[in-house]
Amino acid sequence: MKKIAGIFVLSLGLLLSYSSMAQDKMLTTEDAIYMNPAIYPVRIPQLQWMPKHDYYVYAKHNNLYKVSAKGNSETLFLTLDNLNEKLAQNDFDSLKRLPRISFLNQKEVVFSSKSKWFSYNTETHLLQNFADIPDSAANIDFNKKSKYIAYTIKNNLFISMNGSTVQVTHDDNPGIVNGQTVHRVEFGINTGTFWSPDGKTLAFYRKDETMVADYPLVNIDTRIATVKTTKYPMAGETSHQVTLGVFNPETGNTLFLKTGEPKDHYLTAVTWDPSGKYIYIAILNRDQNHFKLNKYDVTTGDLVNTLFEEQNPKYVEPEHPLYFNPENPNQFIWISERDGFDHLYLYNTKGELLKQLTKGNWVVTNFIGYFGKDRVFFNATKESPLQQNIYSVSLKGGDVKRISPDHGTHTGLVSYDGKFIIDIYSNSEDARKYILLNNKGKEIRVIKENNHPLKDYKLGKTKIFTIKPENTPELYCRIITPPDFDSTKKYPAIVYVYGGPHAQLITDSWLSGAGLFLNYLAQQGYVVFTLDNRGSANRGRDFEQAIFRNLGTLEVKDQMAGVDYLKSLPYVDSTRIGVDGWSYGGFMTISLKLKNPGVFKVAVAGGPVIDWKYYEVMYGERYMDTPQTNPEGYKNASLLNYVDNLEGKLLVIHGTMDPTVVWQQSLLFLQAAIKDGKQMDYFVYPGHEHNVRGKDRAHLYTKITDYFKANL
């Protein structure tokens, strides 16, 4: 039996106290990709705290204003005219709009324009052009302390320093890549360079992928189509090898840390010691079930010691750096889910665990930082898996204190001394709101009210609830019903699915995480249903790891429990149920349709994984092991083995230059359907990568909508 527990219901337009206003506008596909600025949630451009001050700044009308947190006094701090006057005096091009401003210190700011970098002293009004980098520069990494800039051109690494350029690497072979990300962002690292604490020494990734097979992507923009090759190591195949170099600009030498064998391991959690003498790296084996947190000497490259190790029969995920205590450089916080949930652990640099700072059946989702002498701030799901509130805890231990006063999904900007917090949040009622708090969570004032961007639109009701299938944890669900909903009528339904790790579709945020396209579909007369199955994020290790080695099994079972609930609703036409998803959601869409013949009349799958042996090595092996060690799991997950179950309508969509889920995946499925005499629909977006971006996304949304309208 399924237990149904209602959590909350909202009707955008009815519960927002705007019943007296006209609500007759309908969304368009252009609205759904936010081409209409009028429906953006309110935002405050360039909002940031000034260094060592209880003042924050923000931009308005090409001016930067300074506001006192204590007194709420507001003064003009910097104007576009100020900058253009100084630029003209120095024969530089003027700016059309206020550039992105960052603080170097209390008096000095930095900005860039057309690859030129400037500092500007707001007291002396001195403007300095301290760096020029090429237009072709990528992976730009600016350091505030030294004003050095690391960047890459193609596969090599450069540094702009003191008005000159230093080429760090000189690799002619494009299979050697320097200064760029080397492992998927699931490891939490989105850079390939790491500045030392003083900003004068640079650590960087060097990826050797010469041993990895070339994978062809076809570029049709040339008169005779050309092949653009990429390195794409597939699960079970030869993987790339990564080392970490340390470049000293004073000597011009690069030292590589002795991270050992086998070379196809993963180097994660790269963190400089506050002294600048050591670097810490979590060395994760290729099986991803065991890592060692190692300390290396940057002058010799030698391993100093292993602080601790973590392992799990399934996998471990060192996704965060070490967070060193600025008041005590011999202590750091490590985030681990060793007890089943991501929590904060206080260590010393000997590798001794001093204390576990947080504990419970909830997840720390983000470390905000140290503030004051002994407190840290972080985001967590302590109140509900749907929420991310702001909390603080003392390094001495004790109770975790909630700071953000309202429910929802919160981002905290904390002043340098930790006395004030700007809480930026959304929830089921507010698209976005900015409030100023003290460090105990007391509201000082509202900085920016929610603007109710959809108050004039005719939207349906959104409901979040849980179901409890037998022998299964509670599963969160979301339903959006059409405007002018009539419970005595029968409506077609669309299941929107993702279902994979590191994603959560249902949240206590604006539109309950649904976004505009799903509300657009509801406006077209569909009941839109979503469920976060086992394997999805923010429910703890066991919930996510339940799908290990058997992708497409428990997730499908959980989704079908949601479909059973959907079919039980008197207003849902059980003969007209569709399903839609992209990427992992594309894999889930086709899995649901083929493994449950007759249930889904229509399916639309974008960028789908068809067979995990064609997927890339890190993600594929983390969740499935290798095809050699888990042949049964790969066989059961391969959608090529279920083509004979295809019936009804299926549309598969793919970008022809997809480097994430390669085009080969869906082409193999199309080939198998043809061989089996099965009819399906197929559409490509030439030149697009893993997702359809820009204005073409409106075309994609129209394509999906029209397919459901014609067939569902």
Active site residue 508: no
Torsion, CA 695, CA 697, CA 701, CA 706, rounded to 10: 70
Helix (H, G, I), strand (E, B) or coil at 567: helix
Which tokens go with 135? 């237009």
β 602-606/527-531 pair status: unpaired
Residue 180 above 90 pLDDT?
Answer: yes
pLDDT > 90 in the chain, percent: 93
Residue 643, C-beta contacts closer than 8 angstroms, at least 6 positions apart: 594, 669, 672, 673, 676, 678
Give the separation between CA 543 and CA 554, rounded to whole angstroms. Answer: 11
* Helical axes 554-568 vs 584-595, angle rounded to 10°: 70
Return phi, psi of residue 684, to 5°.
Answer: -120, 155
Residues 654-702 have pLDDT tens digits of: 999 999 999 999 999 999 999 999 999 999 999 999 999 999 999 999 9
* pLDDT-derived band at 376, boundaries 50, 70, 90: very high
Q: How confident is the model at residue 186, as a pLDDT?
A: 63
pLDDT at residue 21 tops 60? no
What does each C-alpha distance from 80 to 67, 113, 119 come to in angstroms? 18, 13, 14
CA distance linking residue 75 with residue 334, whole number of Å: 40
110: β partners = 102, 119
Residues in Cβ contact with 608 at an 8 Å cutoff, skipping those fewer than 6 apart: 581, 582, 583, 586, 587, 589, 590, 639, 652, 654, 661, 665, 666, 669
Terminal-to-terminal C-alpha distance of the chain: 29
Token pair of 102, please?
A: 């960052």
Please give the pLDDT value at position 419: 93
Distance of CA 348 to the CA centre of its chain: 30
Q: How confident is the model over 414-433, as pLDDT tens digits?
A: 999 899 999 999 999 999 99
**Which range among 7-21, 149-163, 356-370, 643-657 shows the weakest confidence by mean pLDDT?**
7-21
Is residue 144 predicted with pLDDT exceeding 50? yes
Q: Architecture of 168-319 per CATH?
A: 8 Propeller (2.140)
Whether the per-residue pLDDT at 19 is higher than 70: the answer is no
Output the pLDDT for position 14.
Answer: 38
CA-to-CA dists, residue 474 to 385, 426, 440, 465, 545, angstroms: 11, 24, 33, 10, 16
CA distance 653 to 692: 10
423, 532, 611, 658: the active-site residue: 658
The answer to whether 258 touches 275, Cβ cutoff 8 Å, is no
Reduced to 3 states, what is the DSSP secondary structure of residue 348?
Answer: strand
pLDDT attached to residue 9:
43
pLDDT tens digits along 226-285: 999 999 999 999 999 999 999 999 999 999 999 999 999 999 999 999 999 999 999 999
CATH ID of 41-133, from 2.40.380, 2.60.40, 2.40.10, 4.10.1110: 2.40.10
312 pLDDT more than 80: yes
Q: Which phi and psi angles does 271 have, rounded to 5°?
A: -145, 130
| Contact by Cβ (8 Å): 480, 519 | yes
Strands 226-231 and 266-272: unpaired
* pLDDT tens digits for range 46-56: 999 999 889 99
Q: Where are the domains of the chain?
A: 41-133, 168-319, 322-452, 479-711
Class of domain 322-452: mainly beta
Closest CA to 589 of 475, 477, 476, 496: 496
Residue type, 389: N
| 642 alpha-carbon distance from chain centroid | 32
pLDDT value of residue 16: 39
* Stretch 104-124: mean pLDDT: 95
Query: Which of 320, 336, 236 lies closest to 286 in space, CA to CA?
Result: 236
**Residue 185 pLDDT level (bands cut at 50, 70, 90):** low
- Tens-place pLDDT, residues 578-592: 999 999 999 999 999
Mean pLDDT for the stretch of residues 396-423: 94
112 among known catalytic residues: no
pLDDT digits (tens, 9 = 90+) for 614-653: 999 999 999 999 999 999 999 999 999 999 999 999 999 9
Which of the following is catalytic: 196, 415, 509, 583?
583
Considering 407, 502, 690, 699, which one is annotated as catalytic? 690
Q: Is the pLDDT of residue 7 over 50?
A: no
Residue with tokens 């910097």: 78
pTM: 0.94
Return the pLDDT at 332. Answer: 98
Residue 11: pLDDT over 70: no
Q: Buried b / exposed e across 238-253, counting CB within 10 Å, b at 16+?
A: ebbbbbbbbbebeeee
Three-state DSSP class for residue 711:
helix
Mean pLDDT over all residues of the chain? 95
**Exposure letters 94-120 (e unless 16+ CB within 10 A, then b):** ebeebbebebeeeebbbbbbeeebbbb
Measured between alpha carbons, how far is 316 from 293 in angstroms, rounded to an integer? Answer: 13
Q: What are φ and ψ of residue 180, in 5° steps?
A: -125, 165
Burial-class residue 58 by CB neighbours within 10 Å (0-12, 13-18, 19+): buried
Beta bridge partner(s), residue 530? 478
| Strand-by-strand arrangement of the 401-402 sheet | 364-371, 375-380, 389-394, 401-402
DSSP of 75-128, one letter per residue?
A: EEEEEHHHHHHHHHHTT-PPPSSPPP-EESSSSEEEEEETTEEEEEETTT--EE
CB 256 within 8 A of CB 263: no
Residues 316-341 have pLDDT tens digits of 999 999 999 999 999 999 999 999 99
Q: For residue 367, list its beta bridge partners.
A: 378
Quote the CA–CA distance of 316 and 541 in Å, as a whole number.
9
Residue appearing with tokens 């900007």: 413
Does 15 score more than 60 pLDDT? no
Catalytic residue at 690?
Answer: yes
Q: For strand 343-348 and strand 401-402, is the pairing parallel, antiparallel, or unpaired?
A: unpaired
pLDDT greater than 90 at residue 364: yes
Confidence of residue 35 (pLDDT cuts 50, 70, 90): confident
479-711 fold: Rossmann fold (3.40.50)
Helix locations, 386-511, DSSP H: none
For 32-41, 134-143, 486-495, which range has the lowest pLDDT when averaged over its residues?
32-41
Name the residue type at position 204. F
